[in-house]
């Protein structure tokens, strides 16, 4: 799901001295100190790979590529290399000579398991609800009784709800393709099954009731629906504004982390009070959708989503506090002043 | 999975993990846990004796549930405290695992046996009652002796061997009971909510029970294998390399 980037590791050069004399018989103009890298299994300490003549400026990414050559089943995305068997994973951008290692560096390897790209997961988990909801909306056969096949609901709010739900997931798909800049390229493969079950399952459950022939429209009628629509649209815009602001914090292809601040867009002013306003707006959207449809499964989905996002927000908030000394103290993780 | 067999550390003040290190509990916590486990051992003993007496005197299992239900409900419901013990940290087991175990017992007692009176005389009810009784007496006396640091080997042996038979037997008793209850649930439509209603949700207890029965399929083997692994570790001192996630 979300990636939490870790603070950069490693210090500077540890006063490495040039121990290797230049090769005999050759006049070396510039002595280049090559590193040797040995990679051990973190659990069994078995020596998996030995690399010699590694450039000091080599990055972990390059070392991972070299390791893949000897163990092709472990492509770089599923490698976790660390300095200690139970230590933190080194980042791909870390440079060999800036790590606290001697000229023979020892890395411990852990297999992260089969990996799948974030983009693939997001596209799959969002395309599902979009399509599934529409199946129920159009009352495709076998979902409701045969006499209802391909009939339309007589309630205006049902059509509006379909538009809102579809808009929400189309927005998410487009953001995945064009807006988001991911910290991590991949996640464990099993996540796609877990995530899709969650999104697709809830989408089907909600859609079944909202588009049911026996659906009961909101108790306070048009007033309720109008208010709900306003909340929904406001939060959709808010959520999008935050995504754009976060994207602009980070140049293309980089993985730098900076403190997000409010911009000229008023929707981003929520950054004054909250670390993860994108989650705040997201919960708001679903609350709006709940009020619009007056459907208990939607309320439950909103609640579960809120709990999960609150957990992520707290994690993100804590890592901001750890990384930046000057982090604004007024901010809460997800709910202003409260949570 | 209503057998309430948790992982090795359980209620004891002695950790049964790889290093066997003792974790120190406050005196109050220890006293409370000793009291709790003695009380539960006694409660389930009383239940077991009541069941035996009934059967010896009447020669039948008909009416047995009705006669012991108060004791059963009291002590089984009281076990909810075990979730609190985990949450507060005086017992080193996961809140989730304990929660699931206790909930499944509460579910069987209150939402099946109590609510669906027509199945109370089924043999499967006796089956799981006997299994639960033996399991709980073993389990609670194990915890008690552990807390008192005088664990007789036979109790440890019982706790880590009885489940091999008791666990599948208990599952059989529970599943057969739920299955027997299905026709009555369908007929009365109990605990169900139909459309249309203002919350736009529906719930069918009949299909819910069917889903519950199917959920035993993935859950039971996992819990059973977990207990088998614990058994190998505790009784045979095998070092098990845990699979990293």
Interface ipTM? 0.74
Is B146 within a domain?
A: yes
Distance CA A192, CA A200 (A): 11
Chain B's closest residue to A217, CA to CA, is B198
CB contact under 8 A, A216 and B201: no
| pLDDT of A23 over the 70 cut | no
Nearest to B200 among A43, A110, A293 (CB): A293
Counting Cα atoms < 13 Å in the Cβ hemisphere of A206 gives 28
pLDDT at residue A252, as a whole number:
74
Alpha helices in chain B (DSSP H): 27-58, 64-78, 81-88, 95-106, 123-147, 153-188, 205-236
| pLDDT of A21 over the 90 cut | no
Q: How many structural domains compose chain B?
A: 1
**What are the tens digits of pLDDT across the range B104-126?**
999 999 999 999 999 999 999 99
What single string gives the DSSP state of each residue in A23-78?
Answer: PTTS--SS----EEEEEEETTT--EEEEEEEE-TT-BHHHHHHHHHHH-TTS-GGG
CB count within 10 Å of CB A78 equals 18
Going by pLDDT thresholds of 50, 70 and 90, the confidence category of residue B226 is confident
| pLDDT of B6 over the 50 cut | no
Q: Looking at CA atoms only, how far is residue B245 from chain A in angstroms?
A: 8
Q: Looking at CA atoms only, how far is residue A205 from chain B in angstroms?
A: 9
| pLDDT of B245 over the 60 cut | no
Chain A's closest residue to B243, CA to CA, is A43
Least confident of A3-17, A114-128, B83-97: A3-17
If one compares B119 and A185, the residue with the highest pLDDT of the two is B119
Is B115 within a domain?
A: yes
Residue with tokens 């395309």: A127
- By CB atoms closer than 10 A (0-12, 13-18, 19+), residue A325 is exposed
| pLDDT of A4 over the 70 cut | no
Average pLDDT, chain A: 88
Going by pLDDT thresholds of 50, 70 and 90, the confidence category of residue B74 is very high
**What are the tens digits of pLDDT across the range A138-170?**
999 999 999 999 999 999 999 999 999 999 999
- Give B242's contacts in chain A (Cβ within 8 Å): none
pLDDT at residue A276, as a whole number:
95
Which candidate in A155, A190, A296, A302 is best for mutational testing of the B interface (most B CBs within 10 A)?
A: A296
| pLDDT of A282 over the 50 cut | yes
Nearest to A296 among B196, B199, B241 (CB): B199
pLDDT at residue A251, as a whole number:
80
Q: Looking at CA atoms only, how far is residue A184 from chain B in angstroms?
A: 19
pLDDT at residue B10, as a whole number:
44
Nearest to B195 among A212, A219, A294 (CB): A212
The torsion angles phi and psi of A79, rounded to 5 degrees, stand at -95, 135
Q: Given CB atoms, is A290 within the 8 Å cutoff of chain B?
A: no
**What are the tens digits of pLDDT across the range A68-90?**
998 999 998 899 999 888 888 88
Reported pTM:
0.77
pLDDT at residue A27, as a whole number:
54
Is B5 within a domain?
A: no
Whether B167 is a known active-site residue: answer yes
pLDDT at residue B12, as a whole number:
42
Is B241 within a domain?
A: no
Pairing assessment for the beta strands A186-188 and A79-82 based on DSSP bridges? unpaired
Share of chain A above pLDDT 70, in %: 90
Is B245 within a domain?
A: no
Is B244 within a domain?
A: no
CB contact under 8 A, A209 and B198: no
Going by pLDDT thresholds of 50, 70 and 90, the confidence category of residue B242 is low
CB contact under 8 A, B244 and A219: no
Whether the Cβ atoms of residue A184 and residue A112 lie closer than 8 Å to each other: no
Q: Given CB atoms, is A210 within the 8 Å cutoff of chain B?
A: yes
Whether B122 is a known active-site residue: answer no
Q: Given CB atoms, is A148 within the 8 Å cutoff of chain B?
A: no
Question: What mean pLDDT do residues B217-222 have?
Answer: 89
User: Nearest Cα to A271, choosing from A286, A283, A259, A257?
Assistant: A259
Distance CA B230, CA A250 (A): 49
Domain interval for residue B83: 13-236
Question: What mean pLDDT do residues A20-43 have?
Answer: 71
| pLDDT of B212 over the 60 cut | yes
Total number of residues shown for chain A: 339
CB contact under 8 A, A297 and B200: yes
Is B243 within a domain?
A: no
Q: Given CB atoms, is A293 within the 8 Å cutoff of chain B?
A: yes
Chain A's closest residue to B194, CA to CA, is A214
From B167, B205, B206, B224, the catalytic residue: B167
| pLDDT of A180 over the 50 cut | yes
**What are the tens digits of pLDDT across the range B134-192?**
999 999 999 999 999 999 999 999 999 999 999 999 999 999 999 999 999 999 999 99
Distance CA A75, CA A61 (A): 11
Residue B23 DSSP code? P
Question: What mean pLDDT do residues A261-290 have?
Answer: 95
Q: Given CB atoms, is A217 within the 8 Å cutoff of chain B?
A: no
User: Nearest Cα to B145, choosing from B26, B16, B57, B37?
Assistant: B37
Whether the Cβ atoms of residue A79 and residue A70 lie closer than 8 Å to each other: no
From B6, B82, B136, B174, the catalytic residue: B174
pLDDT at residue B22, as a whole number:
45
Going by pLDDT thresholds of 50, 70 and 90, the confidence category of residue A12 is very low
| pLDDT of A24 over the 60 cut | no
CB contact under 8 A, B201 and A210: no
pLDDT at residue B13, as a whole number:
39
Chain B's closest residue to A210, CA to CA, is B200
- Give A210's contacts in chain B (Cβ within 8 Å): 200
pLDDT at residue B14, as a whole number:
39
Question: What mean pLDDT do residues A207-218 have?
Answer: 96
- Give B202's contacts in chain A (Cβ within 8 Å): 209
């Amino acid at each position: 799901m979300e990636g939490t980037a870790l603070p950069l590791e490693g210090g500077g050069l540890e006063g490495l001295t040039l121990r290797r004399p230049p090769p005999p018989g050759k006049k070396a103009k510039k002595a280049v100190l090559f590193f040797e890298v040995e990679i051990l299994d973190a659990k069994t300490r078995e020596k998996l790979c030995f690399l010699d003549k590694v450039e000091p400026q080599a990055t972990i990414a390059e070392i991972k590529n070299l390791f893949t050559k000897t163990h092709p089943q472990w492509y770089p995305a599923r490698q976790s290399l660390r300095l200690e068997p139970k230590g933190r994973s080194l980042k791909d951008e870390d440079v060999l000579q800036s790590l606290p290692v001697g000229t023979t560096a020892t890395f411990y390897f852990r297999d992260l398991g089969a990996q799948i790209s974030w983009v693939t997961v997001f596209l799959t988990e969002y395309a599902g609800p979009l399509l599934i909801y529409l199946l129920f909306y159009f009352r495709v056969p076998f979902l409701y009784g045969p006499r209802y096949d391909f009939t339309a609901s007589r309630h205006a709010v049902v059509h509006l709800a379909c538009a809102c739900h579809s808009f929400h997931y189309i927005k998410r798909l487009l953001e995945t393709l064009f807006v988001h800049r991911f910290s991590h390229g991949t996640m464990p493969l099993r996540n796609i099954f877990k995530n899709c079950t969650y999104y697709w399952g809830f989408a089907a459950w909600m859609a079944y009731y909202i588009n049911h022939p026996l659906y009961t429209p909101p108790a306070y009628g048009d007033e309720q629906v109008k208010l709900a629509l306003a909340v929904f649209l406001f939060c959709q815009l808010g959520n999008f504004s935050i995504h754009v602001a976060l994207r602009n914090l980070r140049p293309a292809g980089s993985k730098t982390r900076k403190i997000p601040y409010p911009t000229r867009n008023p929707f981003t002013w929520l950054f004054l009070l909250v670390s993860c306003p994108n989650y705040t707006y997201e919960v708001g959207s679903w609350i709006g959708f709940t009020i619009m449809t007056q459907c208990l499964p939607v309320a439950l989905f909103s609640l579960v989503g809120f709990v999960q996002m609150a957990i992520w927000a707290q994690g993100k908030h804590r890592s901001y506090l750890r990384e930046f000394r000057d982090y604004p103290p007024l901010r809460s993780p997800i709910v202003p002043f409260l949570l | 999975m209503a057998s309430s067999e948790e992982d090795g550390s359980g209620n004891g003040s002695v950790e049964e993990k790889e290093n066997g290190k003792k974790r120190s509990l406050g005196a109050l916590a220890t006293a409370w846990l000793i009291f709790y486990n003695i009380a539960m051992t006694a409660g389930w003993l009383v239940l077991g004796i009541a069941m035996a007496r009934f059967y010896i005197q009447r020669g039948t299992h008909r009416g047995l549930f009705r006669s012991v239900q108060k004791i059963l409900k009291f002590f089984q419901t009281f076990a909810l405290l075990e979730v609190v013990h985990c949450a507060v940290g005086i017992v080193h087991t996961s809140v989730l695992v304990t929660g699931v175990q206790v909930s499944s017992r509460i579910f069987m007692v209150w939402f099946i046996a109590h609510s669906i009176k027509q199945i109370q005389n089924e043999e499967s009810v006796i089956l799981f009652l006997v299994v639960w009784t033996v399991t709980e007496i073993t389990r609670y006396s194990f915890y008690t002796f552990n807390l008192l640091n005088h664990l007789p080997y036979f109790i440890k042996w019982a706790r880590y061997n009885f489940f091999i038979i008791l666990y599948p037997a208990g599952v059989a008793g529970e599943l057969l009971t739920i299955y027997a209850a299905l026709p009555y649930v369908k007929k009365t439509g109990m605990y169900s909510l139909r459309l249309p209603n203002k919350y736009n949700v529906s719930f069918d207890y009949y299909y819910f029970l069917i889903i519950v029965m199917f959920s035993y399929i993935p859950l039971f083997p996992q819990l059973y294998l977990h207990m088998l692994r614990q058994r190998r570790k505790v009784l045979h001192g095998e070092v098990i390399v845990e699979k990293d996630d």
